[in-house]
A and B are shown apart, each in its own frame.
Chain A
Amino acid sequence: MQILDALAQGILLGGLYTLFAVGLSIMFGVMRIVNLAHGDFAILAAFLAILLVGETSFPVWLVVAITVPAFAAIGYFLQRTLFQQSLNSGPLSTLLVTFGMSIVIQNALLEAFSANPQRLDVGQLATASFPVGPIAIPYIGVLGLMLAILCIVAIELFLRRTATGRMTRAVSDDPDTARLTGANSRHIYGLATGIAFGAVAIAGLLLAARSSVEPTAGSMRLIFAFEAVVIGGLGSLWGTLVGGLSLGVVQTLVAHFDPSSSILAGHLLFLLVLAFRPQGLIPARSL
């Protein structure tokens, strides 16, 4: 029974990993940008929400409704300015720029909020659970998994069913030719980053609602998200879900036997996939 419990918790944890990884997957899929500040943006969103809850009398749902679109807008703006600039000067410079942003965000958060862990107060939701047989399923875990799947479905619908989504895939294939059919690739890049930032904000808020976060927590999140993307297969969103879930399940199952090896087991899964199935579990298909 305890194994079953670990499996269930692992799947729910995997939902959270997926939520983190979706944005990373999109930015890589469309622009070939590896955003090294991805995890830090999630933490930034979390602290922004914590600040809003503390300073205003807004209910949590309103804070979420403000933070997520605000982050999408920040993403669009950053892409049109900083990221586009760095893209123009080659792939290495986007790595350097996002790495720099990661350091800036971490230190700005430390300066503003101190190193103390904080959490987003969502009341009962954080701890409540419902029983399924002998297992207790936490609501917030289910919410995370549902949000992850919802995000992927929404993004897939956007990419497959709308004209802008179709053009996003075209730009991802061949930006030069997409311009010839009318695309403004910079605007499309902005939209893709906006979506990625919206998703990462949701992930950050959920993380802060589950457990307390400190300003430097982003780096570890980035690694898990990156592993989820690679395990699932680069550029495939459903692959990212599979990657996130496998990572969560492996970590939780191993933790059940030996808690200290849990993170290591996740990394080993990542290395095994890289060694024996570098295209990922869900074979790569472009966005």
Chain B
Amino acid sequence: MTTLLSVQEINVHHGQLHAVRDFSLDVNDGEKTAVIGANGAGKSTLMRAIAGTHRPTSGRIFLRGEDITDLHAGRRVEAGIALVPEGRRLFRSLSLEENLLTGTYRKRRGTWSLEAIFELFPWMKERRAKPVARLSGGEQQAVAIGRALLSNPDVLLIDELSLGLAPSIVARIYGMIPRVVETGCSVLFVEQNVAQALSVADRALCLLEGRTVLTGVASELERSEVEDAYFGVAHGRGGRKERNSDADS
């Protein structure tokens, strides 16, 4: 397996907040990696930094060995990174089909075409001309994923797919991720639901206050271990604070 995406010691600030601290991660070809962590752990900021809408203050990001840190988000789509943003963020004045087609703007070649998306989500075909505001949350999420896939990415980033959706719908949408990986695309996704994340991912890492506190093969991680990392119990409050101040000084 070769390293596809390599994030090296990035720090990202969100205003005054140091949201992501010395974060490193390698994503291999065809791998599904889950980033788990509680609210405010810096997961979304991390995804935006990789997608290029939020500049890291330090560190580098490589795609297939090429430094993409200085590319703007549009160019990163061209390079092969697509993000399904938190909260879907569909274009409300565009129809379903037009929303999907915005993904083709950079004209990357690959397996995903409008027809392939309609095959993956058959219900879309007859509702293609509908405004997206009429769609249910789950349907909107599917459109957001289809839009990202149409840019034929090498790495698909998904931020909080399950946000505001019923568990059965979440499971169904996650069910199509193997089909995505089959086409040669790696998936890096953020998920608050630990059980859901571990059942889908090959590898998982847990963020706590911007740091990686746990990483491992998804099937081998102990549930209690993950829970401790998730809530930061293992380190104890006082201990962690001390470590942070060491790192900052």
A216-236 interface mask toward B, CB cutoff 8 Å, 1 = contact, 0 = none?
A: 000000000000000000000
- Among B78, B85, B102, the most chain A Cβ lie within 10 Å of the Cβ of B102
- Residues of A contacting B: mostly: helix
Chain A residues touching B, range: 20 to 34
- Residues of A contacting B78 in the complex (Cβ-Cβ under 8 angstroms): 182
| Docked-complex contact B72 and A177, CB < 8 angstroms | no
A177-B98 contact, Cβ under 8 Å, with A163-B104, A184-B74: no
- Residues of B contacting A287 in the complex (Cβ-Cβ under 8 angstroms): 93
Surface stretch bound by B, among A67-75, A82-90, A139-147, A167-175: A167-175
> In the docked arrangement, what's the CA distance between A90 and B83, Å?
27
> In the docked arrangement, what's the CA distance between A287 and B82, Å?
25
A112 within 8 A of B: no
A180 within 8 A of B: yes
> In the docked arrangement, what's the CA distance between A32 and B105, Å?
23
| Docked-complex contact B103 and A166, CB < 8 angstroms | no
- Residues of A contacting B101 in the complex (Cβ-Cβ under 8 angstroms): 163, 166
A-B pairs under 8 A by CB, number: 71
| Docked-complex contact B91 and A179, CB < 8 angstroms | no
Q: Name A166's contact: one of B74, B92, B102, B148 (CB within 8 Å).
A: B102
A181 within 8 A of B: yes
**A185 CB, min distance to chain B CBs, angstroms:** 8
> In the docked arrangement, what's the CA distance between A183 and B98, Å?
14
> In the docked arrangement, what's the CA distance between A33 and B115, Å?
38
| Docked-complex contact A174 and B91, CB < 8 angstroms | yes
Q: Name B102's contact: one of A176, A181, A184 (CB within 8 Å).
A: A181
| Docked-complex contact A180 and B85, CB < 8 angstroms | yes
- Among A166, A169, A178, A287, the most chain B Cβ lie within 10 Å of the Cβ of A166
- Among A170, A181, A285, A287, the most chain B Cβ lie within 10 Å of the Cβ of A181
**B79 CB, min distance to chain A CBs, angstroms:** 10
| Docked-complex contact A182 and B98, CB < 8 angstroms | no
Per the 8 Å Cβ criterion, residues 149-174 of A in contact with B are 163, 166-167, 169-170, 172-174
| Docked-complex contact A182 and B106, CB < 8 angstroms | yes
B64-88 interface mask toward A, CB cutoff 8 Å, 1 = contact, 0 = none?
A: 0000000011110110001101000
| Docked-complex contact A182 and B53, CB < 8 angstroms | no
**B80 CB, min distance to chain A CBs, angstroms:** 11
A286 within 8 A of B: yes
**B94 CB, min distance to chain A CBs, angstroms:** 6
- Residues of B contacting A163 in the complex (Cβ-Cβ under 8 angstroms): 101, 104-105
B147 within 8 A of A: yes
| Docked-complex contact A179 and B103, CB < 8 angstroms | no
| Docked-complex contact B53 and A179, CB < 8 angstroms | yes
Per the 8 Å Cβ criterion, residues 25-79 of B in contact with A are 51-53, 72-75, 77-78
- Residues of B contacting A177 in the complex (Cβ-Cβ under 8 angstroms): 85, 89, 91
**B188 CB, min distance to chain A CBs, angstroms:** 14
A179-B72 contact, Cβ under 8 Å, with A173-B92, A286-B92: yes
| Listed A/B pairs (28) with beta-carbon separation below 8 Å | A166-B102, A169-B91, A169-B93, A169-B94, A169-B98, A173-B91, A173-B93, A174-B89, A176-B89, A177-B85, A177-B89, A177-B91, A178-B91, A179-B52, A179-B53, A179-B72, A180-B51, A180-B53, A180-B73, A180-B83, A181-B82, A181-B148, A181-B151, A182-B102, A182-B151, A183-B105, A184-B74, A184-B75
B positions within 8 Å CB-CB of A:
51-53, 72-75, 77-78, 82-83, 85, 89, 91-94, 98, 101-106, 147-148, 151
Give 5 closest A-B pairs by Cβ, nearest first: A286-B93, A182-B77, A182-B106, A179-B73, A182-B105
